[in-house]
Amino acid sequence: MGIIIRQAAYSSVFSYVGVALGFLNVAIFMNRWLTPEELGLRNILLDLAIIYAQFANFGMYKGMVKFFSFFRANDNFDRGLLSIASLTAIAGFLTLAIPLFLFQDQILDLYASD
């Protein structure tokens, strides 16, 4: 039980240090070094990247978590699950990247007014 408590304590400490560094970075340093326009552009680009990344992976992360035990062999191989997930992620990326590239001007015009 001592190992679990020690690992939980380390995890908590590192989590709090990460939160503190993130707060310092976003709340203090970025507000001091970036203009409000640059900060807004950074926020909207980050938000759009997160939203598009969720669509681009086609839910393969949850599928890998759920079905890994079915694909795993006794010799610690995944029987092609990683290949399927990688190909699905590449297909999802291309599915989103090509229309985003083709309609780049219209998308920029949509967000440029704000």
pLDDT of 93 above 70: yes
- Counting the structural domains of the chain, the total is 2
Pick from 1-10, 54-63, 75-84, 102-111: least confident: 75-84
- Are 42 and 1 members of one domain? no
Where does the chain have alpha helices with state H? Answer: 2-23, 30-33, 36-56, 60-71, 81-102, 104-112
- How much of the chain, in percent, has pLDDT values that exceed 90? 19
Instruction: Say what the pLDDT of residue 64 is.
Output: 79
CA distance linking residue 56 with residue 98, whole number of Å? 12
Instruction: Say what the pLDDT of residue 1 is.
Output: 64
Q: Who wins on pLDDT, 70 or 87?
A: 87
CA distance linking residue 113 with residue 18, whole number of Å? 34
- Are 2 and 44 members of one domain? no
Mean pLDDT for the stretch of residues 88-107:
89
- Are 51 and 88 members of one domain? yes
Local confidence band at 56 (pLDDT 50, 70, 90 cut-offs): confident
- Are 65 and 18 members of one domain? no
